[in-house]
Amino acid sequence: MKRQNTILLFILFSFLPLPFLIGIFENSPGGFSAIWDAISFIIVYISAILMFLMTFIGTKKSTKPFFIYKLIWLQEMFIISGLSGTIIGFVLTLYSMGIELPSGVDPIAVLISNLAISMITIVYGFMGAVTVYLIQKYHEMKIDKKDENIVEKPKEGFIFPSLIYFLIMNALLALAIFIGSEGVGGIEAFGMSGNLIYIVTILIIFILFYRGNSFINLIKNLFWYIPDTEKNIIYNLKYIRDMKKIVAMIICISLLCAPIVMLASLGLPPDETANLGWGIMILPFIGLKNGGLQFMWILNFIFLLNIIEGREVSKLYFETGEVSAGDRFYSIKYILAPSFLLFFTFSFGIMISFIL
């Protein structure tokens, strides 16, 4: 099913939530322009669309069920991209609280700007998801006179456009993060050597749990099309979806330890050198900062797993004509919950710091 009007529908439906958002900002300082942020737009909209193009190359002509699956996949990527931007802004906020800012830099302004990234990205993520959801429902309720059942199976080998989309996406994300972190010392806030242990541990988990034909071929799905048996494709899909749940549960356990670090820190004598200058202690938020970094790296792995999952679903569709949808509420259940846990603990720490 070739949807030539999808882009027009995306533009049209993107404007439908605007009256409600404008109503929220009515009579507020700055008005509706307060919601615009170029960094957040790159992190959410540009990255989600590039990942979509990277994943579903060669699937313009497809049946309606597969087209609906692609829309559901894009909804999840918008939500996860929005939450990823939220975590990036959150880490920058906590990092700026723990360093000595350059002279002339207002710490309150830095704090507010980084928190704005956290808030606006999650709004963008859900706006994008709602827009795609409206497109999905539009096509589901539309009666198609004729559906194209032609399945154009791609050629085996390296998919060069996927690499191009991947490089463009990472370059834009790096630029957005660099601009956003410029006032707090640069991107070294995300590149500490201690983060390597998270990456290695996750890779070990992935390798130990895999029982399919070839783990290397599974990873190569990012940039290659490699035909496979139906049995192995179904196994790979189950493996990927289980791994996404496992890493999400790991970060939940990690973030549950953050309040313990906070309470232990609050029991220590106050250290005046660990303040922002307006009464907030930094030490209680160390656990949250470390948890935010772990969350960010795990979200990067989930992005890659989602791309591979989309490729495997496409492969199953090419081989059998069937669509394996999976859990469409994964991002709500497994990503949104720890994000709220992170912000709840942060808000609790702010209130306690003011009280003390």
Residue 15, domain member (yes or no): yes
Residue 278, domain member (yes or no): yes
Over 50: is that where the pLDDT of 273 sits? Answer: no
Over 50: is that where the pLDDT of 90 sits? Answer: yes
User: How many domains does one find in the chain?
Assistant: 1
Over 90: is that where the pLDDT of 6 sits? Answer: no
Full residue range of the structural domain in which residue 115 is found: 6-355
In this prediction, residue 98 has a pLDDT band, given cuts at 50, 70 and 90, of low
pLDDT at 312: 93
Helix, strand, or coil here: 281? strand
Q: CA-CA distance, 31 to 21, in Å (whole number)?
A: 10
- In degrees rounded to 5, what are phi and psi of residue 16? -65, -40
Residue 154, domain member (yes or no): yes
In this prediction, residue 36 has a pLDDT band, given cuts at 50, 70 and 90, of confident
**Cα–Cα separations (whole angstroms), residue 213 to 231, 232, 302, 311:** 10, 7, 22, 16
**Cα–Cα separations (whole angstroms), residue 60 to 2, 39, 65, 88, 211:** 6, 30, 13, 33, 32
Q: Bigger pLDDT: 277 or 338?
A: 338
Q: What percent of the chain has pLDDT over 70?
A: 77
Token pair, residue 30, equals 């700055």
Residue 165, domain member (yes or no): yes
- 275 - beta bridge partners? 281
Per-residue DSSP letters for 67-100?
A: HHHHHHHHHHHHHHHHHHHHHHHHHHHHHHHTS-
Residue 280, domain member (yes or no): yes
pLDDT at 251: 86
How would you write 239-261 as a 3-class SS string? HHHHHHHHHHHHHHHHHHCHHHH
Alpha helix (H) residue ranges in the chain: 6-15, 18-24, 38-41, 47-55, 64-97, 107-140, 160-181, 196-209, 215-220, 230-256, 258-266, 286-320, 330, 337-355
Q: What is the model's pTM?
A: 0.87
Q: What angle do CA 59, 17, 300 make, to 5 degrees?
A: 50
Task: Dump pLDDT digits (tens) for 280-294.
Answer: 556 777 778 888 888
Write the CB contacts of 240 (distance below 8 Å, at least 6 apart in sequence): 305, 308, 309, 312
In this prediction, residue 232 has a pLDDT band, given cuts at 50, 70 and 90, of very high
| Average pLDDT, integer, range 67-94 | 88
- 66 - beta bridge partners? none
Over 80: is that where the pLDDT of 221 sits? Answer: yes
Q: CA-CA distance, 105 to 89, in Å (whole number)?
A: 18
Helix, strand, or coil here: 224? strand
Over 80: is that where the pLDDT of 223 sits? Answer: yes
Residue 1, domain member (yes or no): no
Q: What pairing do the DSSP bridges indicate for beta strands 157-158 and 224-225?
A: antiparallel
| Average pLDDT, integer, range 320-334 | 84
Over 80: is that where the pLDDT of 24 sits? Answer: no
Over 70: is that where the pLDDT of 4 sits? Answer: no
- By residue count, the chain amounts to 356
Q: What percent of the chain has pLDDT over 90?
A: 23
Q: Under a CB-based contact definition with an 8 Å cutoff, are residues 295 and 342 in contact?
A: yes
Residue 91, domain member (yes or no): yes
Token pair, residue 215, equals 């783990």
User: Of 290, 304, 92, 287, which Cα lies nearest the Cα of 202?
Assistant: 304
